[in-house]
């Protein structure tokens, strides 16, 4: 009876986290903030690589369905996004290869400051991302999308936290998208970088398929709900969630690196 109760509570905890992660991730990214700690709490003795692989497979479902939902309602420039996806894919593979040879510790300690600067910049620029004025022509735009997608893709493969926020900032600030179009573009690129990660996790067996598929179902439900809400309410709501997620990422990464919340433990 006790074991059955434990299993029931564990499953409820995981599927709830998966739904919420899919919902938040569909809006602005950052679902890993919810889903990864839930997995580590539920399975403290499992290999970290298996939990991360399980998270990736689960999150891929939500990301894919959210991207599909967005693309039915939002027009994105096909050739431009193709370049972005290919560059991000190459960057992600390169980052995953480099991290096997170089420590990512310097990024861990610098990330909170980068995220905090991103948060302040977004708060100060109150109109950023509220109107859609894409700047996609000319050499400057081509350089931005190639360098930006390569760099963020590399970062995603090398380290990872905050990738969705950085992609959103790339499309909104540098390329003139509003937050709604930025969310659609971010989900599309995220699908590609997630595939790159799964190409490494699946062959090595670092996935608990039973848990991953169960969580994927609820992550998909969350992704559909989040993208539907974003389409209905528009860029103003997405901006609000973007600020909240970047704030949460800033606090989380600062605690990981410097223990700023140690007084609560």
In the chain, domain spans: 2-258
Q: Mind listing the pLDDT tens digit for each residue in 122-146?
A: 999 998 999 999 988 889 999 999 9
Q: What pLDDT, on a 0 to 100 scale, did the predictor assign at position 20?
A: 95
Percent of the chain exceeding pLDDT 90 equals 58
* Dist CA 178 CA 185 (whole Å): 11
User: In angstroms, how far is CA 207 from the centroid of its own chain?
Assistant: 19
Mean pLDDT value across the chain? 89
What confidence score (pLDDT) does residue 2 get? 44
d(CA 60, CA 63): 5
Contact 216, 57 (CB under 8 A): yes
Question: What is the torsion angle, in degrees rounded to the nearest 10, for the CA atoms of residue 209, residue 163, residue 86 and residue 63?
Answer: 40
Nearest CA-CA partner of 168 in 194, 147, 187: 187
Question: What pTM was computed for the model?
Answer: 0.89
- pLDDT value of position 182: 96
pLDDT for res 1: 39
| pLDDT per residue as tens digits for the range 17-63 | 999 999 999 998 888 888 988 998 888 888 888 888 899 999 999 99
Helices marked H in the chain:
2-28, 32-42, 48-73, 78-98, 105-124, 139-158, 163-169, 179-204, 209-233, 235-258
Kindly state the DSSP code that residue 175 receives in the 8-state scheme. Answer: T
Mean pLDDT within 55-83: 93
Res 52: pLDDT? 85
Query: Would you say residue 91 has pLDDT above 60?
Result: yes
* CB contact at 8 A, 104 and 159: yes
Residue 87 has pLDDT above 60, yes or no: yes
Confidence of residue 4 (pLDDT cuts 50, 70, 90): low
25 touches 33 (CB < 8 A): no
The answer, yes or no, to whether residue 243 has pLDDT greater than 90, is yes
Whether the pLDDT of residue 175 is over 90: the answer is yes
Q: How far apart are CA 9 and CA 42, in angstroms?
A: 10
CA separation (Å) from 91 to 80, 118, 171, 180, 243? 17, 22, 17, 25, 26
């Amino acid at each position: 009876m006790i074991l059955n109760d434990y299993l029931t509570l564990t499953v409820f905890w995981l599927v709830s986290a998966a739904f919420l992660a899919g919902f938040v991730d569909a809006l602005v990214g950052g679902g890993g903030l919810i889903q990864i700690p839930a997995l580590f709490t539920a399975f403290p003795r499992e290999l970290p690589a298996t939990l991360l692989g399980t998270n990736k497979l689960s999150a891929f479902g939500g990301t894919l369905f959210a991207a599909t939902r967005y693309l039915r309602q939002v027009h994105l420039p096909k050739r431009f996004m193709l370049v972005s996806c290919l560059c991000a894919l190459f960057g992600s593979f390169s980052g995953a290869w480099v991290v096997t040879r170089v420590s990512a510790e310097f990024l861990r300690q610098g990330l909170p400051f980068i995220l905090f600067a991103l948060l302040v910049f977004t708060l100060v620029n109150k109109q950023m991302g509220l109107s859609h004025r894409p700047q996609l022509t000319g050499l400057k735009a081509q350089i931005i999308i190639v360098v930006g997608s390569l760099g963020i893709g590399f970062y995603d493969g090398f380290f990872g936290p905050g990738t969705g926020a950085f992609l959103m900032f790339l499309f909104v600030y540098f390329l003139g998208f509003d937050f709604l179009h930025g969310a659609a573009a971010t989900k599309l690129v995220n699908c590609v970088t997630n595939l790159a990660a799964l190409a490494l996790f699946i062959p090595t067996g670092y996935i608990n398929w039973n848990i991953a598929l169960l969580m994927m179902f609820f992550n998909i439900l969350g992704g559909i709900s989040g993208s539907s809400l974003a389409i209905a309410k528009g860029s103003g709501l997405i901006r609000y969630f973007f600020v909240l997620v970047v704030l949460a990422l800033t606090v989380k990464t600062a605690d990981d690196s410097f223990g700023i919340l140690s007084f609560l433990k």
